[in-house]
Amino acid sequence: MKKEDIKKLAENKNLISGIYNYCDRWCERCAFTSRCMNFAMTREQDTDPEASDITNEKFWQSLSEIFKATREMLEESAEELGIDLDSIDFEETSRDEGIKDKIVKNHECCRAAKKYYEMVDKFFESEYIPSLQVVDKVQVQNAAEPKKSDGPDGPATLDEMVEIIYWYHHFIYVKLMRSVRGTLGNSPEVLEEFPKDSDGSAKVALIAIDRSMAAWGHMHTFFPSHRDEILTIIVHLDRLRNRVEKIFPQARNFIRPGFDETNPSR
Binding positions for ligand SF4, rule: CB under 6 A? 19-20, 23, 25-27, 30, 32-33, 36, 38-39
**Contacts for 145-149 with beta carbons within 8 Å, 24 or more apart?**
146/218, 146/221
CB of 46 to ligand SF4, least distance (A): 12
Q: Give the nearer residue to ligand SF4 in terms of CB position, either 70 or 225.
A: 70
DSSP state of 184: S
Q: Quick one: 158 or 208, whose CB is closer to ligand SF4? A: 208
Minimum Å distance from CB 29 to ligand SF4? 7
CA distance 36 to 115: 32
d(CA 112, CA 131): 26
Looking at residue 261, its amino acid is E
Q: Minimum Å distance from CB 15 to ligand SF4?
A: 10
Of residues 30 and 251, the one with the C-beta less far from ligand SF4? 30
| Smallest separation (angstroms) from ligand SF4 to the CB of 208 | 12
Amino acid at 259: F
Nearer to ligand SF4, 30 or 237 (CB): 30
CB 203: neighbour CB atoms within 10 A?
25
Return the C-alpha torsion angle 149, 151, 156, 161, nearest 10.
-160
